[in-house]
Homo-oligomer: A and B are copies of this chain.
Amino acid sequence: MNVFVIGLGLIGGSMALDIKAADSRSTIFGVDANPNHAKEALDLGIIDQIASIENISEADVVIISIPVNAMVVLLPQVLDAIHDNALVFDAGSTKSLICAAVANHPKRRNFLAAHPIAGTEFSGPKAAVKNLFQGKTNIICEVEKTAFKLQERGMKIFADLGMRIRYMDPKSHDKHIAYVSHLSHISSFMLGKTVIEKEKNERDIFDMAGSGFESTVRLAKSSPEMWAPIFEQNKENVIETLEEYIANLQQFKELMLKNDFSAIFDEMENTNRIKEILKGITIKTI
């Protein structure tokens, strides 16, 4: 099986490693806009060969794991160029605009819209790790628009990676993921910003930071190349979550100003049930 991975970063690189491990007869072709990344992926043994988008007609499977703004441009071009029996799937963190970009494409049935909920705050080929997807959720959108035998090929790969599948429409995906992923990134980036601004004048401040702070700002290490386009494509939902978050912070501040620490206690106690909720999440800590 010829597998083309376009975008050899954390997600694409990690997929390449697991697909090769599951089926050693597969040949992994790596495509990256950055020649240094392609070279690095080859040196790290993530891919078997560096390839170019021009060779895409040789692919049986194409995985596109690039920023979502580049995705909506490249995905139709990839569909144009593949053979009739090839499967293309993406790994984008937004789904509505990506699905819309190929809604009327003659090869729409060759595309499977996917969002593997897995990752770390690191990026580039060096960030690729084995078993990243084990036990994680893969959201599949508009599954009925993909040819049945290509669905099967995709599901075989996702099963090899150890993923559990959830089916969802693109609109619901984008709305929900804004809460559980996109908002977390903004809260983390802005927390990092707030503390860094302070640190300009107070050099010693980070000497006092512990693992709690580290955990909360971890996502602020994430790649702007990846995340600015996500916020742009999911603008409406993200703004809604951001407004609710700001309103909750404002209310917390008002309670403090009113010295209503009993209400603050209740707020925290109610939110403690996140413990139970999070037990449902399979966590692979990095």
Report which A residues bind B (CB closer than 8 A): 117-121, 136-137, 139, 166, 173, 176-177, 179-181, 183-199, 202, 204-222, 224-225, 227-229, 231-232, 235, 238-239, 241-246, 248-250, 252-253, 256-257, 259, 261-262, 264-275, 277-278, 280-281, 283-286
Contact = CB atoms under 8 A, between A and B. Distances in A.
A279 B207 CA distance: 11
A242 B231 contact: no
A216 B214 CA distance: 9
Given A190-B245, A224-B272, A228-B268, A210 B252 contact: no
Contacts of A270: 193, 196
Given A241-B194, A268-B224, A211 B285 contact: yes
**Chain multiplicity (copies):** 2
A268 B217 contact: no
B214 A281 contact: yes
A60 to B, nearest CB: 29
A75 B91 CA distance: 56
Contact of A210 (B119, B186, B266, B274): B119
A206 B281 contact: yes
A257 B239 CA distance: 8
Given A184-B216, A190-B249, A217-B278, A231 B261 contact: yes
B267 A189 contact: yes
Given A184-B212, A189-B267, A232-B261, 5 more contacts: A173-B208, A181-B209, A184-B216, A215-B215, A225-B265
**Interface majority SS on A: helix, strand, loop or mixed?**
helix
A284 to B, nearest CB: 6
Contact of A252 (B212, B214, B242, B248): B242
Contacts of A275: 221
B257 A214 contact: no
A209 to B, nearest CB: 4
Nearest to A280: B206
B219 A277 contact: no
A208 B137 contact: yes
A18 B165 CA distance: 45
A238 B250 CA distance: 13
Contact of A274 (B137, B186, B196, B202): B196
